Amino acid sequence: MITIAVAWSADGVAQEFSICIAAGTTIGTLTSSVELASQVPASVLNATVGIGIWGKLRPQNYKLRHGDRLELYRPLTSDPKEQRRQRAR
């Protein structure tokens, strides 16, 4: 068994929890598991546009390792470049 952290943001609030999973579990297996679905709201799982480990996108076949931080990415609500332009004005 290994322990990983799962993090996501919804409604402006960041959430994080730890979960114990079997060694050799892939991202794809975990995202379709009951363990994750019981802890993460369905609206977050359905809106996820990417999954990463410590800020780097990873494929579904990535084998999770002890201490990984699985991050569920949501779509951007606005363009970061446009936000910077508006702040500069």
Instruction: Give the pLDDT score at 11.
Output: 74
pTM over 0.95: no
Q: d(Cα 28, Cα 59) in Å, to the nearest integer?
A: 8
Q: Please report, for the domain that includes residue 20, its CATH number.
A: 3.10.20.90
Report how many domains make up the chain: 1
Instruction: Provide the domain limits for residue 83.
Output: 2-88
pLDDT (tens digit, 9 = 90+) per residue, 44-67?
Answer: 777 677 888 998 989 989 999 999
- In DSSP terms, which residues pair with 15 in a beta bridge? 8
Q: What mean pLDDT do residues 14-43 have?
A: 83
State residue 62's pLDDT score: 92
Q: Cα torsion for 75, 65, 37, 76, to the nearest 10°?
A: -10
